[in-house]
Amino acid sequence: MIPSRQPSSSRRARELPRRTIRAAQPGGTAQTSRRSPLAIAASIGAFALIATFAIAPPATPDAAGQLALYIAAHPQTLSVSERVSLQDGTRDGYSATAGVESLAATGTNYAWAKLVMLSGGWPQSEANITVMVRWMRQENGTDDWWNRNNPMNNGYGSGGGGGLGSYDSLVTAAQKAAENLQRNPSFSTIVSAFAASAPTNITEQAIWASPWASSHYGNGSRWHTSPVPEITAPVSAW
């Protein structure tokens, strides 16, 4: 009896690829391992759970971020019918009192707030005027909001440091308030909020974040939102 010989290691090495190829062909005896649907679902669930904890919750947008979201959510569009045709026509004559003169004649704190909007080219919307009269109240109070002809304690062009200067009239004060907001990049978010007639809370947050007041109005903790009474300034202040 001839003892059986085991193939040498070199022979086994040469035969291994052939067996592997034969097993991969149709009809081969090799079986491919398969993961059960339950195991796959468990893997996906574990990955989703890890991803959930790895993603930090989004931060609350600041005033500029909230303003950007508001503007994006309220686009302004103009649609014109294709059937509209342009025709020459006779226009009726008209006349109007200048905005500055009309508001000065009214003489109230609300009229002055509208004059600031007019000077800055911003809408005289309810939201803008509400913010403006509240801001005036924070700076100079209500009963004598025209104090030193400087309702906003504005240092720009008033000749006084720290906003303690005065103007020759409330008309000039309104113009200088608008100019100061537009000329200083630190107030750009306030300007954008006024231009968009943003909700009062967004515009007010922009004011608190700005350097207009060194106290930042306590970041809103010392800012009052109660209705502001309408008070008329002396004619001489205008």
What tens digit of pLDDT does each residue of 165-210 get? 999 999 999 999 999 999 999 999 999 999 999 999 999 999 999 9
Residue 125 has pLDDT above 90, yes or no: yes
Token pair for 77? 């569009």
Cα 39 to Cα 137: distance, rounded to the nearest angstrom: 67
- The proportion of the chain whose per-residue pLDDT surpasses 70, expressed as a percent, equals 64
The segment with the largest mean pLDDT, out of 7-11, 80-84, 88-92, 108-112, is: 108-112
pLDDT (0 to 100) of residue 49? 47
Closest CA to 237 of 162, 156, 140, 161: 140
Decide if 43 is inside a domain: no
pLDDT (0 to 100) of residue 144? 95
What tens digit of pLDDT does each residue of 127-168 get? 999 999 999 999 999 999 999 999 999 999 988 777 889 999
pLDDT (0 to 100) of residue 25? 45
pLDDT (0 to 100) of residue 31? 46
Decide if 173 is inside a domain: yes
Burial 55-74 (b: 16+ CB within 10 A, else e): eeeeeeeebbebbeeebeee
- Section 25-47 average pLDDT: 51
**H or E element that contains 223:** none
pLDDT (0 to 100) of residue 71? 73
Decide if 40 is inside a domain: no
Expressed as residue numbers, the domain containing 214 is 101-237
Decide if 59 is inside a domain: no
What is the rounded average pLDDT for all residues in the chain?
Answer: 78
Decide if 176 is inside a domain: yes
Lowest mean pLDDT among 26-30, 70-74, 166-170, 179-183: 26-30
What is the tally of structural domains in the chain?
1
What tens digit of pLDDT does each residue of 212-227 get? 999 999 999 999 999 9
Decide if 4 is inside a domain: no
For residue 38, name the pLDDT band (cuts at 50, 70, 90).
Answer: low
Residue 15 has pLDDT above 60, yes or no: no
Cα 45 to Cα 56: distance, rounded to the nearest angstrom: 19
Lowest mean pLDDT among 56-60, 66-70, 123-127: 56-60
Decide if 134 is inside a domain: yes
AA letter at 224: H
pLDDT (0 to 100) of residue 66? 75
pTM value?
A: 0.64
Q: Is 211 left (phi over 0), alpha (psi -120 to 50) or beta?
A: alpha
